[in-house]
Amino acid sequence: MIGNIYTITAIAVIGGGLFGFDISSMSAILGTRRYKCYFNQGPNGPPFNNQSCSGPRADVQGGITASMPGGSFVGALASGFITDMIGRKRAIQIGSVIWIIGSILVCASQNIGMLIVGRFINGISVGICSAQVPVYVSELAVPSMRGRVVGAQQWAITWGILILFYISYGCSYISGTAAFRVPWGLQMVPAAGLFFGLLFLPESPRWLAKKDRWEDCHAVLTLVHGKGDPNAPFVNRELREIREMCEFERNNTNVSYLELFKPKMINRTHIDVFGMAGLSGNTNLIASSIQYVINVFMTIFALIFIDRWGRRGPLIVGAILMATWMYANAGLMASYGSKAPPGGVDNVPEESWQIAGAPARAVIACTYLFVASYAPTWGPVSWVYPPELFPLRVRGKAVALCTSANWIFNFALSYFVPPAFVNIQWKVYVIFGVFCTVMAIHVYFMFPETSGKTLEDVEEMFMTGAPAWRTRVEFNKIVAAEHGDVDDEEAALRHDDVPSEKKEVEIPKVQ
């Protein structure tokens, strides 16, 4: 069984890579002549040397594109029940099998209906994996590197986008339907690797504890955190805290999504949904492989520093920077842009807006800067933050709910942003800028800091009701605890802050 957290993460986040593959599997192909001719609904169709195939109708193409986030919404919600029943690891394995099934249908698509069904099934897989991979990794990682390893999910997404984009670009030179069937088929390979790789990984120790499998829980903590020593100080401390939390929640084991809207949970739930909404815009913003490359490399900064930076700082700074680039785009488009001429430009409706020359290059630069601001901040933190906020009994369902919110926002953006650019033109950027500004203010007042705390410490923080702006990163403190540099007296003082109903629990010794 593999115990190195980086190896565990490298295998698990392939589930995030599937999300990236799905983005490029459509965005990189739908504009190609072979795709347009094969799925053509206009007057011109095959053979493939026809230069004027119009492809699917606009509304039908919207349905093809939206079928994936639609399936992801369903998959994310279902994953909350699946993960609680059979575990984090098996839930992700089920997601990988569903991905292979969907990819087979997509690759073999003979018509638009078959393509939509295949993409919907792929979406179910993405929903399951995107919701439960962060939960799985966060429950295995030590606090000092939890942000780094969970944030790797976002990095895997960016790599998935980049890799399949270039595969699709290269395959576009193949003759016939192989131009799009080959990349659609190749995306099955990582899912197979994910399924078999998970066979060698441990289950989440917190899920094992929830099922009263304490010996297995202790064994996993020893493997991943104790370097084989079952009596390592941090292993004993973490086992004690997990047991305390499970005892505290013993009367709340049968939970539903409704609990997420009760008084002590509603603030955390709205934080999740608001945060995941910030995840959505990136997919629609990226327009070229240059932005894919920027996305990949700027995310590296978060993987290195996110646990020292914390969660609040990157979210606030990222929102301010993104607002700046949106307002700049609005100003450029308003000052130097104009309505498109009669007949439109490059198949864009004539009601749309156009800009050229140096101002156009400035708009592109602001778009790149937006991605560069998003990649090390809201991108990874949107995956890291949700699993940290909730107690064990609702964590699987809570992250499933907020991930499904991400897919609803993706679905909404796919349908409402294009007509918004037609109807209110450059003012759309003002709306985006206002959203980002509100995000920065909202994070400051409502999002507490979770970096440098165990998942059980985070629960205690919410129980005490500390104001968000007074919470701090505790990176050095948790590193000292992980290395056994905290003595018993300090640990005892720390546990004096635990609510009285939790302190009274007797902790039996694990053999």
CB burial readout 433-449, b (16+ within 10 A) else e: bebbbebbebbeeebbb
Residue 238: per-residue pLDDT: 86
The count of residues in the chain is 511
Instruction: Please state, as a whole number, how many other Cβ atoms lie within 10 Å of the Cβ of residue 294.
Output: 21
Closest CA to 151 of 20, 21, 306, 309: 306
Phi first, then psi: what are they for 345, rounded to 5°?
A: -130, 125
314, 302 Cβ separation under 8 angstroms: yes
H helices then E strands: how many in the chain?
Answer: 23, 2
DSSP 427: H
DSSP 345: B
144, 452 Cβ separation under 8 angstroms: yes
Residue 98: per-residue pLDDT: 96
Domains annotated on the chain, with CATH: 5-201+249-446 (1.20.1250.20)
Residue 87: per-residue pLDDT: 92
In a structure prediction context, what are the per-residue pLDDT tens digits for the chain, which is 511 residues long?
Answer: 898 999 999 999 998 888 888 877 777 787 788 888 888 876 655 555 555 677 787 678 778 888 888 898 899 889 888 998 999 999 999 999 999 999 999 999 999 999 999 999 999 999 999 888 988 998 898 888 888 888 888 889 888 888 888 888 888 888 888 989 999 999 999 999 999 999 999 999 989 998 889 999 999 999 998 888 888 888 888 898 888 878 766 655 555 555 544 444 444 444 453 333 333 333 333 445 677 788 888 888 888 888 888 889 999 999 999 999 999 989 988 888 777 665 444 444 444 567 777 888 888 888 889 989 998 999 888 888 888 887 777 777 888 888 888 777 777 776 666 666 667 677 888 988 999 999 999 999 988 888 878 777 887 788 777 788 888 877 677 677 666 665 443 444 344 444 444 444 343 444 4
What contacts 407, CB < 8 A, 6 or more positions away?
69, 70, 72, 73, 76, 123, 127
What contacts 45, CB < 8 A, 6 or more positions away?
37, 53
How buried is residue 149: exposed, middle or buried, by Cβ count under 10 Å (0-12/13-18/19+)? Answer: buried
